[in-house]
Structure 1
Amino acid sequence: MDYFIIVVTTAAGLYFHWWLFRRIRQWSDRDLALSFAEGDEPKRQYMLEQLARARHEGISRRELPAWLEQAATQYRPGSA
């Protein structure tokens, strides 16, 4: 029974750390995308859409800042 408790708590701890790591990465990616919006609400929505598009296209995290910066330069007011 002792080993069962150790295995369960270890597995739960590892899962929690993995989940927290993933959430922090999502939050930092979202903050990066929103930093290009410069407080403009339509551009903010546009950048969140571009972030979703980048995830769908499989853009790597290393390429994401440059990709989002390029998407931000292509933004035209009223195009969101």
Structure 2
Amino acid sequence: MDTTTTTPAGTAPLSHRDRALLRAVAAGRCVLAGPTLLVDDLPCADQFLHARLARAGLIGPGSAGPAHLTTAGRDALAAA
């Protein structure tokens, strides 16, 4: 059984960490504070993860406020 999910652009498979962050965003646990993504009020340990998922079109762009999934992000999470 193949457990990898690809990004909408088909450029790279989503890792377990990618899917975990998408689930956290969907649950309302993530906030953008400038270039920093906070998960449960703590900085995300992978400083590049938010930017990578935003470039892939899975997380909406922004610099402040609650993080949100795009339609593509919801679809990728549902396929995972």
Shorter-chain TM-score tier = under 0.3
Q: Which has the higher contact order (CA 8 A, sep 6+)?
A: 2
Larger Rg: 1
Compare the two structures and name the one with the higher helix fraction.
Answer: 1
Structure showing the higher strand proportion among its residues: 2
TM-score for both structures, normalised by structure 1: 0.24
